[in-house]
Amino acid sequence: EEFSGHIEFKNVWFAYEEDNWVLKDVSFEVKPNETIAFVGATGSGKTTILGLIVRNYDIQKGEILIDGIDIKMIKRSSLRKHFGQMLQDVFLFSGTIYENITLNDENITMKEAIEASHYVGAHHFIEKLPDQYNHKVLERGNNFSSGQRQLISFARAVAYKPTVMILDEATANIDSETEQVIQESLSKMMNISTMLIVAHRLSTIQHSDKIIVMQKGEIKEMGSHQALLKQKGIYYGLYKLQFDQK
């Protein structure tokens, strides 16, 4: 089925446990190929939003529309086909690098796996390995640095050619050189797919089309990086805090 990546939250309320609302009356729209970033303290509801978009949970009130269709009408499996997810805890299993990129999906050729790795900047360290793409990955990827694991998982997300890319804190525990590589591939990705990013480092998200500032389950501010700085509100405070630390 065709899928353009248009996402709409309309007055969404959500609780993991009854009446303990994690999201309160959240409304926003993501147009195809837009990059939207969510910022806010831990527990503000950012990651919950990403989980709801792939239907890890169903909401109690309001509606989530994907390409104009109520998300509850869409099968989880067909929904998830269109989403690439890059989460902080990278899941790698014992097998080859190629198998980890393709998740053993026979529709993805070695050529495509290599293209995806080139695209995200993973190829340069993989080609130096004795067996390159047939190099063995230990359980949980323990024979690679956290940055390398992240790049393999990024290549995996790209190999599936997702319409919507979900990044949760993917730059958290990474050396600055790898972060640079990921930044560059992110800006490439921004041109070809809808992106939803949760990040603590504000440098990651300055070029987003829209930044949504969350606090205790509510949207407090929404706008571009420049517009939010001008407001001198919560985002401005967060930005100043990070900037002053450098």
Is 97 among the domain residues?
A: no
Is 237 among the domain residues?
A: yes
CATH of the domain at 60: 3.40.50.300
Backbone angles phi, psi at 243, to 5 degrees: -70, -40
Q: Over the stretch 76-133, which tens digit does the pLDDT of each residue have?
A: 888 877 888 776 667 788 888 899 888 878 888 899 999 999 888 889 888 898 989 9
Is 100 among the domain residues?
A: no
- pTM, full prediction: 0.81
Is 137 within 8 Å of 100 (Cβ atoms)?
yes
Task: Report how many domains make up the chain.
Answer: 1
Rounded distance, CA 96 to CA 221, Å?
44
Is 1 among the domain residues?
A: yes
Q: Over the stretch 124-174, which tens digit does the pLDDT of each residue have?
A: 888 898 989 988 888 777 788 877 888 888 888 888 888 888 888 655 566
Is 5 among the domain residues?
A: yes
Give me the residues paired with residue 85 across strands: 166
Is 21 among the domain residues?
A: yes
DSSP code of residue 216? T
Is 38 among the domain residues?
A: yes
Dihedral sign, CA of 225, 229, 234, 240?
A: positive
Give me the residues paired with residue 40 across strands: none
Residue 158 buriedness (CB in 10 A; 0-12 / 13-18 / 19+): buried
Instruction: Provide the residue range defining the domain that includes 208.
Output: 1-82+202-245
Is 235 among the domain residues?
A: yes
